[in-house]
Amino acid sequence: MVGAGGVRLMQGNEACVEGALAAGLRFFAGYPITPSTEIAELLAERLPQVGGAFIQMEDELASMGAVVGASLAGLKAMTATSGPGFSLKQENIGFAALAEVPCVIVDVQRVGPSTGMPTSPAQGDVMQARWGTHGDHPTVAFTPWSVSETFSLTVTCFNVAEELRTPVILLLDEVIGHMREKVVLPPPEAVTVVDRKKPAVPPGEGYSAYDPGDGDIPPLAAFGDGYRFHVTGLLHDRSGFPTNDPEEAAYLLNRICEKVERRRARLTMIESRDVHGADVVVVAYGCTARPASRAVRMAREAGIRAGLVRLITLWPFPREDVARLTAGARRILVPEMNLGQIVHEVESAVAGRIPVVHLGKVGGVLMTPEEIFEAVKGV
Amino acid sequence: MPHIWCAGCGHGIVMGCLIRAIDRVGLDKNRTVIVSGIGCSSRAPGYMDFDTLHTTHGRALAFATGVKMANPSLNVIVIAGDGDLAAIGGNHLIHAARRNIRIATVCFDNSTYGMTSGQYSPMTPTGKFASTAPYGNIDRPFDLCELAKGAGATYVARGTTYHASLTVNLIAKALEHNGFAFVDVLSQCPTYYGRRNKLGGAVEMMKWYKDNAVPVQAARQSPEPLPPGRFMIGELFTVTAPEYTDEYAGVLERARERETRA
């Protein structure tokens, strides 16, 4: 069944595949790793049906490299992995960020570090998504809380990657990846699909893959189009060739970071409920937002003025929105399945004006509404 | 044109051989992608007028596999040094060979890490000196050609910077080969490897290639094994086997058939 809309019961990993195909994915390279493997398995079947390329590479580093190569050859490209593999991919994710190669990386988070707990959920890769590769670089990362949202956010990942010429990370977790829910798949024509900007000039007439002209994102030709351009992981000037010129180097690093920063508002997806007049605002994301949502309802029923902010965009962190939506609160509670990652961003966003309490849980079991409710009562 | 290579470096000769081979075979500049890793040799694509991709250390073959799979009609060439290809990228070398994907791979093999000023590589002979082997190298080197062949490469050859004309022929055949083709080209590094091992300058090092290279035909006719220090040059191995992107075209066909039946 290729590209058919309609109501389906499916896993988050499956919804990710449907979203990727709807967005125009035509290349996948991956390496088997729990709990992301279904994405590779499904694409091994589906991509050939749409004329796309699937390859299981020899390791995680190779998968990320192949994705960058395929994207430069003109295809929308993706890989999927989990924590250990996400670590291994980091160098080539940095390459994609610096060389401005659109691609999507799915990380279905499991408990870490190291081999950790391969079949259990965690939210421990939030900071790795932001800072996993070395050096200053832009990061765009989204995290869904449902199977249905996994579909739509995967489409968003591709659209943002293509528009901004940058790697985009989809942070799933074991619960969202493996949970089955109802999804209403839109018909293909109802899905908004963005393609990368191609050169406006014909080959031989001054195209450079690294000269943004009047804008801040240069158009990207495909290898084989006749433009004969150079791509490097060295700092490069506007011609695309390596440079040691401090001004050109700084210009490039600033440009690739600012192209994301400048679009922060547009990239921000955030939801809130009952935050006006709330004494306690719970800021949650991904699988933890599900029990958090219930806990806030329980608190309201118990007479506690509680509200919920759900982060969908993690990076760039929506600090202004978090500050605005929590402005009236006396306490902020940040439940997450790690020992403290996004909580620091929340603290930074409210700049000490409101006490921020962290509720961390590790060990591989989803938080319960009761645990979060108790914490809401406690703060 | 300014370049990064030291005086006497063999890499310019190897690059020249590659360009002559591309010209001889008549590859379309607009349909040819040259991919490299990190190291002295891997800067060569920046000096050539094709689509060129200078990747991360060791990963040229992985990126190149993505390019080739995404558009099998492109001519894909990989340039890599011996450290890049045989050490940090060794896994990609054996798996690209195993798949028999049509990527012509040229190893600029100078037995050292030149870019970082002369540490021992998997191609540094035992007993030689390097900045990280001040008491002599105790590692045993690869025979890279045997490694490539054992891993499944379907065209394997060795040349040297002294045997430039032969090397052009070998690379040209690699470019025309429908499968994974591997050409190991010995290239002198007088600055770091030669000086530290008292091998003389570029001329002496190339003369050593001349004196110690044995054409494959002569080596195979001799009943005696090659004496230590001698090495074979020429076309060492070639065989016909299914090429990976051709096989993938079969996958696309089977997927379409299954769709049609469904």
> Could you read off the pLDDT of A248-295 as tens digits, one per residue?
999 999 999 999 999 999 999 999 999 999 999 999 999 999 999 999
d(CA A320, CA B203): 66
Cβ neighbours of A55 in B, within 8 Å: 65-66, 69
**What is the token pair recorded at B37?**
């890793």
Same domain, A32 and A177: yes
What is the mean predicted confidence (pLDDT) over A303-332?
98
Contact A230 B54 (CB under 8 A): yes
pLDDT at site A4: 64
Scan for tokens 């509720």, then name that residue: A359
Q: ipTM of the assembly?
A: 0.97
Mean pLDDT over all residues of chain A? 97
B53 touches chain A (CB under 8 A): yes
The CATH number that applies at residue A280 is 3.40.50.920
Length of chain A as a residue count: 379
In order of start, what are the domains of chain B with their CATH numbers?
A: 11-261 (3.40.50.970)
Give the one of B35, B51, B59 whose C-beta lies nearest to A229's C-beta.
Answer: B51
**Do A144 and A176 meet the contact criterion of CB atoms below 8 Å apart?**
yes
Residue A249 lies in a domain: no
**Do A178 and A12 meet the contact criterion of CB atoms below 8 Å apart?**
yes
d(CA B175, CA B53): 18
Pairing between β-strand B155-160 and β-strand B119-120 as defined by DSSP bridges: unpaired
- Which has the closest alpha carbon to A170: A145, A141, A137? A141
Contact A230 B56 (CB under 8 A): no
Contact A48 B67 (CB under 8 A): no
pLDDT at site B50: 98
Phi-psi region of A173 (alpha: psi -120 to 50; beta: other; left: phi over 0): beta
Q: Which domain holds residue A96?
A: 6-190
**What is the token pair recorded at B262?**
């469904």
Residue A303 lies in a domain: yes
d(CA A316, CA A200): 30
How many structural domains are present in chain A?
Answer: 2
**Do B60 and B35 meet the contact criterion of CB atoms below 8 Å apart?**
yes
**How near does any CA of chain B get to the CA of A257, in Å?**
21
Length of chain B as a residue count: 262
User: Using the 8-state DSSP alphabet, how is residue B131 labeled?
Assistant: T
d(CA A284, CA A373): 13
Residue A220 lies in a domain: no
- Which has the closest alpha carbon to A71: A39, A30, A29, A103? A103
Count A/B contacts: CB-CB distance under 8 Å: 142
Question: Residue A127 burial (CB < 10 Å; 0-12/13-18/19+)?
Answer: middle
Mean pLDDT by 10 residues, chain B (262 residues): 93 98 98 98 97 98 99 98 98 98 98 97 98 98 97 98 98 98 98 97 98 97 93 98 98 93 84
**What is the token pair recorded at B133?**
């082997």
**How near does any CA of chain B get to the CA of A222, in Å?**
9
> Chain B: residue nearest A66 by CA?
B66
The CATH number that applies at residue A81 is 3.40.50.970
**Do A170 and A106 meet the contact criterion of CB atoms below 8 Å apart?**
yes
Residue A95 lies in a domain: yes
